[in-house]
Amino acid sequence: MFINNRNISFKAIRTAEYNVYESKNSKEERKKLTIYELEPSDIPVLEGLKRQAEKKQLFPESKIYNSRNDKNNHYEIILEGIKDTINSLKLKDKFKFKTPSVEYLAVVNNNVCGLLTGNMPKLDMKSNRIVYSNRNKSNETEMDWLISWQPKCGGNITGIGTALLAEFFNYCNNLKGINTIYVRSEIPEKSKCPDFYKNFGFIPVQEETIPCEDELRPVELTRFLNSKKIEFDRSPVIPLELSTEQAKDTFIKVSGKLKREDLDYKSVDLTNLVSSTQPNHRNSA
């Protein structure tokens, strides 16, 4: 299946560049990671990523896992994040919210390697109002999805998740009336995410995991509008929080360490990324 690029208007916004590092053959080489802010017209890019993830062809076969289950779990998480991000962009295209969600794409060597979605609108069905945190707090936003994987460009890249999270911290600094960032992280048995967030200053709200279906929380509006019945994620999570003041300090530190550079914030054509995520297309990197 090919996409007629002339019929698609891509509007991904070049936001920032970070220095990341590729380890290959016992050598470390500096690479540029570009962060793009996605628009609804960029959904075909994510649809291409979804197809690759469904076929388990998103990252190199040489990626080492402890077991096949670990690899399958990674792909399941990536697929869920891509699907939610697509729905978030569709929602943004149909409705205007007081504070819209943000969707970031990370690219190294013309290969997509990460995705972050935050501030997704959620419906508090008790009060019938829109909130932006599963804890239903008016002064709080949520980092809904942070997923990354090794791109098909050679060695092992470090710093992908760090750059995406730092960019979200920068976004949160501009949200009015917000003083806390909330995260629901996968349990340690499934990933190293809780430790990753703790390294950025996130504090566990409680040490025990909580089952999502038992959590008293609003429902993501994307799930509410795109399903005849509301389906909760039943996997347990660890809730963590971080003040926006701490996030601001962390953003400054990471920006210095990874040599962040502001880009022109202009819309760019992602046709090449679409081509690289379509079936039967040769990867351009």
- pLDDT surpassing 90 at residue 26: no
Which of 237, 131, 115 has the alpha carbon at shortest distance from 178?
A: 131
Task: Starting at the earlier edge strand, list the strands of the sheet with 219-220.
Answer: 129-131, 122-124, 219-220
| pLDDT, tens digit, 9 for 90 and up, residues 173-232 | 999 899 999 998 865 455 678 889 999 999 988 665 555 544 455 455 555 444 444 444
Which of 86, 44, 27, 50 has the alpha carbon at shortest distance from 220?
A: 86
User: Between residues 266 and 106, which one has the greater pLDDT?
Assistant: 106
Q: Which residue has the tokens 């080489």?
A: 29
CB 155 within 8 A of CB 24: yes
Looking at CATH, the fold of the domain delimited by 9-276 is given as Aminopeptidase (3.40.630)
End-to-end CA distance of the chain: 20
| pLDDT, tens digit, 9 for 90 and up, residues 108-151 | 988 899 999 999 988 777 777 888 888 878 899 999 999 999 88
| Helix, strand, coil % in the chain, rounded to nearest 5 | 35, 30, 40
Q: Which residues have CB under 8 Å from 54's CB, separation 6+? A: 79
Report the phi/psi class of residue 181: left, alpha or beta, with left for phi > 0 and alpha for psi in -120 to 50: beta
The residue extents of the domains of the chain are 9-276
| pLDDT, tens digit, 9 for 90 and up, residues 234-247 | 556 788 999 999 99
Q: Average pLDDT for residues 75-81, to the nearest whole number?
A: 88
- pLDDT surpassing 80 at residue 172: yes
3-state class of 172 per DSSP?
helix
Sign of CA dihedral 85, 173, 113, 110: positive
The whole-model pTM stands at: 0.84
Give one DSSP letter per residue of 11-53, joined into a string. Answer: -EEEEEEEEEEEEETTEEEEEEEEEEE--GGGHHHHHHHHHHH
